Amino acid sequence: MSAQKAKKNNPAIPSDLSAKPKRGVKDFIDSLIIAFVIAMFIRTFFISAYRIPSGSMEDTLLVGDHILASKIHYIVGDPSFGDIAVFEYPLEPDKDFIKRVIGTPGDHIRMEGRQIYRNGVLLQEPYAKFYP
């Protein structure tokens, strides 16, 4: 039997070989769209990436560092003392601030000179730096 007859009699061999590359491109585009949708879902509800713009958290976070921040933690609970939180700057909502939590609801925060007191107790923060 010749190759032509075998091809006609076997439905597993496509008669139009040009259909395969078109399908491959379509599958690739479909995969890209699905990956994009999943990435946007994750970025919107679970994790966001940020770049550190200033030296206010040195030596913990350095200028230019990149971090991933979990959004789940604050959906299921409140920030805790010592957490590093990302939030919108109230006066410029397009800017994000990255700061350490030094007080939670109900805490009394007082600053005397360069010392911070939380509920009357001096905070021991060896990582904190003060600039003139």
Instruction: For residue 56, indicate whether it is catalytic.
Output: yes
Smallest CA-to-CA distance from 81 within 97, 104, 105 is with 104
The bridge status of strand 109-112 relative to strand 92-100 is: unpaired
In one letter, which amino acid is 22? Answer: K
Tell me the C-alpha distance between 4 and 15, whole Å. 10
Instruction: For residue 95, indicate whether it is catalytic.
Output: no
Taking only the tens of pLDDT, the chain with its 132 residues reads 555 555 455 555 555 555 555 678 889 999 999 999 999 998 888 888 888 888 878 778 888 888 888 888 777 888 888 888 888 888 888 888 888 898 999 999 999 988 889 999 999 887 777 666
The CATH architecture that domain 46-122 belongs to is Ribbon (2.10)
- What is the value of pTM for the model shown? 0.60
CB 80 within 8 A of CB 58: no
Catalytic residue among 7, 22, 95, 99: 99
Spell out the domain ranges in the chain: 46-122
Residue 35 C-beta-side C-alpha neighbours within 13 Å: 6
Tokens matching residue 60: 């913990």
